[in-house]
Amino acid sequence: MSTLTTAERPPATGAEVGVLRLLLTLCGLTALLLTSATLVPAPARAAGAPAANRPAAQAAYLADRLRENPVHVSDQLPREVPRSMAPDFARLAERTGVSTYVLVLPHQGGSDEVLLGAVHDRLGRDGLFVLLDESGVSQAAAYGVSAPAEAARTTTAFELPYDAGPLRSFELFVDVVAQGTGRAEARADAAREKYRDGNEPEDMYIGPSDRRNQSFVTGIALTGVPLTILLVAWYVRRARRRFPRAATPRRTAARTTPSATRRHPAAATRPMWRRLLAPGLALATAAAIALTAPLVFDQTKRGPAPLPTSGDMTARVERVAKGLAQDPVYVDPESPRVLDAAHLTRLHDRIERFGRSEGGGPVYVTVVPHLPEDESAGDEELFAAAVRAQLSKADGFGEANGVYVVADPLDGYIDVFNHGLRLESLRLLFDLPESISYGDDRADEADDHLLGERLDALMTYLDKSPRTEEPTTTGEPARALSPESENSLPPLFATDFWPGLFVGGVAALLLLGLVAGVLGIVAAVLRRRTPPVLRTRR
């Protein structure tokens, strides 16, 4: 086949040149867009581990727990859902009629559905997967089995009040699942429609302010009602003599009785039982109020949480301290992973360098959630002190002095507490830059709260912190309330009960004044309408 040389090719036409230029332009724009896509940084939300991969490590850990036991109750909520409640959840799960896997974890935010799917994939078993938090059933999904998971979850959300508690919520969830798909969906629709009409379920428990109101009302009733009976009865007897009465021979004869009888006519004519009637009724009323008030106001707890065992209250601290004995950085396996491998490697490096620096020392980093329902009642300082005390019991640690960094993977807050290093403890406690403690707008928008970057900035801050001549410490934090005290209501005959007694006495006097005014008006009207000849002389 013959080919044309360049000199032999015909010259390009105008149309061909235009097409060629268009193709070159399109190729250039495509290359520019691809280059820009590679140069533009990823959004802050995707900082650290990608959002799709963040539940992987968490899901793997939870799947291992479910492989050991189909019910896993976290040790991070002992004040609301102690681990010792696991058998109760297991008994209820048997009533669903299908294989049921239950996870009780701190609230995970918006990743509940993704987490359940990831746990199912890791576990490799079909069944009904239920995720609960400190409030109740937060997510449920059925994989390979027939179960109205979503209808049951909807029913619990609309039929139960917020304070019903996780166990009561799961019990209703199981009952709805056992009804079957048709009835469960109908019940969910009815509950949703009832809630939409404004029929919200009433709270099952009361708080301290409600208890004070009950005590106040009890105090008012206990003095106000009996005192009103006594005062009104006494005043009515006296007021009766002011009412006009027709003269009769008997009353005329009564005026001729001795002077002692005239001075106390009622005492001479009324029998003993009538004289004791008002005091007896007042005393009986007071006793009835005192005995029935505790039966009417019979609440003793603020919520449904059972009393945790000592093991429930120390489980997480022991777990974290055991991890810190092996590695100065402890990342909670039950929470979303917020530190990737690169961040962990750099953090370990910075901790080691700080330990060798002048006035430096050990740094212990805990990446765990802090909630009002945990063993420390959400107090980070108390948690750090408890971990240090537990770590001091480990072999070779002594007093376990060092800087304790508490980072929350759920809200992203960072707190620092110094125990025994030559650092200004109060400066670390109160003057830590907000960009490290709370983060900025970028940290708020990021799934991982940019904890890796902020912990790196914290290590720089520690490196530059002034050293003191002697070791300092943050001090001993105040102890949190015991779960029993925290969940108990004040006694009924306490708090505002005593002011109620006073108010009840004042109310009885005011009511007496009202009765006196009414009777005075009635007596005046009757005297005007009664002929003078028929009035009884006093």
**Rounded Cα–Cα distance for residues 219 and 500 (Å):** 4
Residue 54: its pLDDT value, please?
A: 61
Among left, alpha and beta (phi > 0; psi -120 to 50; other), residue 109 is left
Q: Which helix (H) or strand (E) holds 452?
A: helix 451-464
Highest mean pLDDT among 500-504, 526-530, 534-538: 500-504
pLDDT of residue 256: 47
- The verdict on pTM exceeding 0.75 is yes
pLDDT at 243: 62
Question: Which tens digit of pLDDT belongs to each residue from 117-171?
Answer: 999 999 999 999 999 999 999 999 999 999 999 999 999 999 999 999 999 999 9
pLDDT for position 193: 92
**CATH topology identical between 55-196 and 310-486:** yes
Q: Strand 329-331 vs strand 363-367: parallel, antiparallel, or unpaired?
A: parallel
The pLDDT of residue 382 is: 96
Amino acid present at 345: T
Query: 55-196 has which fold?
Result: Diaminopimelate Epimerase; Chain A, domain 1 (3.10.310)
CATH 1.20.1560.10 holds for 310-486: no
The alpha carbon dihedral of 296, 298, 303, 306 has a sign of negative
* Pair 194, 156: CB distance under 8 Å: no
Tell whether the model's pLDDT for residue 334 goes beyond 80: yes
pLDDT at 265: 53
Neighbours of 491 (CB within 10 A): 12
Residue 86's pLDDT band (cuts 50, 70, 90): very high
Q: Please give the DSSP secondary-structure letter assigned to residue 121.
A: H
- β 137-143/329-331 pair status: unpaired
Interval 422-448: pLDDT, tens: 999 999 999 999 999 999 999 999 999
The model's confidence at residue 270, banded by pLDDT at 50, 70 and 90, is: low
Res 245: pLDDT: 59
Cβ count near 470 (within 10 Å): 5
Burial degree of 92 (CB within 10 A; 0-12, 13-18, 19+)? buried
Query: How far apart are the C-alpha atoms of 276 and 255, rounded to whole Å?
Result: 26
| pLDDT (0 to 100) of residue 269 | 65
Amino acid at the residue 165: G
Q: In three state form, how does the secondary structure of 64-117 look?
A: HHHHHCCEEECCCCCCCCCHHHHHHHHHHHHHHCCCEEEEECCCCCCCHHHHHH
In tens, the pLDDT along 395-421 reads 677 789 999 999 999 999 999 999 999
List the one residue out of 103, 35, 36 whose CA is nearest residue 74.
Answer: 103
pLDDT of residue 271: 79
Least confident of 29-33, 139-143, 214-218, 495-499: 29-33
The pLDDT mean for the chain works out to 85
pLDDT at 37: 36
Q: Which residues contact 357 (CB under 8 A, 6 or more apart)?
A: 463
| Averaged pLDDT for residues 504-517 | 91
User: Which is more confident, 277 or 156?
Assistant: 156
Q: What is the domain partition of the chain in residue ranges?
A: 55-196, 208-300+496-534, 310-486
Please give the distance of CA 382 from its chain centroid, rounded to a whole number.
Answer: 19
Give me the residue label for tokens 């961040």.
343
Residue-wise pLDDT tens digits, 214-226: 999 999 999 999 9
The CA-CA-CA angle for residues 143, 149, 151, to 5°, reads 150
CA-to-CA separations, 292 to 73, 109, 289, 296, 298, in angstroms, rounded: 40, 45, 5, 6, 10
Residue 522: band (very low, low, confident or very high) from pLDDT cuts 50, 70, 90: confident
How confident is the model over 241-258, as pLDDT tens digits?
666 654 455 544 445 455
Asked whether the beta carbons of 442 and 44 are under 8 A apart, the reply is yes
User: Which residues, including other chains, have CB under 8 Å from residue 494's CB and lie 6 or more apart?
Assistant: 215
pLDDT tens figures, 459-493? 999 999 999 999 999 888 888 999 999 999 999 99
Give the model's confidence band at 91: pLDDT under 50 very low, under 70 low, under 90 confident, else very high: very high
Establish how many alpha carbons lie within 13 A of residue 456's alpha carbon, considering only the half-sphere containing its beta carbon: 11
